[in-house]
């Protein structure tokens, strides 16, 4: 079984950028998703795979209500035909996004109102070169080597597996070094 190094993600990124072990890349989200309102108390398990294709239980989370009484959204990856994706290990790739974040990052796709499209622009990521475990959004999350950390907004850092990144984002090589918003990095 793979070992996962527990890290403080902000410190990990800062040190990696300073010592050159992490390099920022620009990427643009293109993938559509299926989404539904979660039911308070519902448990969602997020699955991925490591570099060898073995399953990784990334995260177990429970639907909660936010300060406005809204539950989060259960989001599911879909393919180009907008069918829900099931991986080779038999897992549906789903996760929870809180209501405020979901409304900020997604909108109904006018070409197919059964799915949502991303609203954000180009984002900045660093690719990790080891298995890491972080505490994020109230739970522990494991990301295998090759995964990415979104560092566009230091107040909204998140990690994503390599498989999910490749299915969701397009790296943009524009010859410019990405500008990082915060002096934290």
- Checking if the pLDDT of 183 tops 60, the result is no
Model pLDDT, residue 57: 87
Asked if residue 127 belongs to a domain, the reply is yes
H or E stretch including 107? strand 106-109
Cα–Cα distance measured from residue 32 to residue 76, given in angstroms and rounded to the nearest whole number: 9
pLDDT band at 126; cut points 50, 70, 90: very high
Asked if residue 181 belongs to a domain, the reply is no
The structure's pTM equals 0.70
CA 71 to chain CA centroid, nearest Å: 19
- Domain that residue 164 falls in: 5-172
Asked if residue 58 belongs to a domain, the reply is yes
Asked if residue 180 belongs to a domain, the reply is no
Q: Count of domains in the chain?
A: 1
Contact between 93 and 175 under an 8 Å Cβ cutoff? The reply is: no
pLDDT digits (tens, 9 = 90+) for 7-36: 999 899 999 999 999 999 999 988 899 999
Asked if residue 183 belongs to a domain, the reply is no
Asked if residue 185 belongs to a domain, the reply is no
pLDDT digits (tens, 9 = 90+) for 144-179: 999 999 999 888 788 898 988 998 899 997 666 666
Asked if residue 182 belongs to a domain, the reply is no
């Amino acid at each position: 079984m793979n070992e996962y190094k527990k890290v403080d993600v902000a410190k990990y990124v800062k040190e990696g950028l300073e010592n050159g072990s992490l390099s920022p890349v620009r990427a643009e989200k293109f993938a559509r998703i299926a989404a539904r309102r979660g039911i308070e108390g519902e448990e969602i398990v997020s699955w991925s795979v490591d570099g060898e294709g073995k399953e990784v239980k990334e995260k177990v989370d429970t639907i909660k209500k936010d300060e406005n009484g809204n539950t989060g959204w259960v989001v599911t990856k879909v393919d180009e035909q907008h069918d829900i994706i099931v991986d080779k290990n038999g897992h549906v790739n789903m996760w929870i996004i809180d209501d405020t974040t979901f409304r900020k990052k997604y909108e109904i796709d006018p070409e197919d109102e059964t799915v949502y499209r991303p609203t954000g622009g180009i984002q900045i990521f660093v690719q990790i070169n080891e298995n890491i475990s972080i505490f994020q959004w109230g739970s522990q999350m494991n990301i295998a080597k090759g995964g990415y950390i979104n560092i566009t907004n230091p107040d909204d850092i998140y990690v994503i597996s390599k498989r999910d990144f490749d299915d969701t984002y397009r790296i943009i090589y524009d010859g410019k070094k990405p500008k990082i918003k915060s002096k934290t990095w």
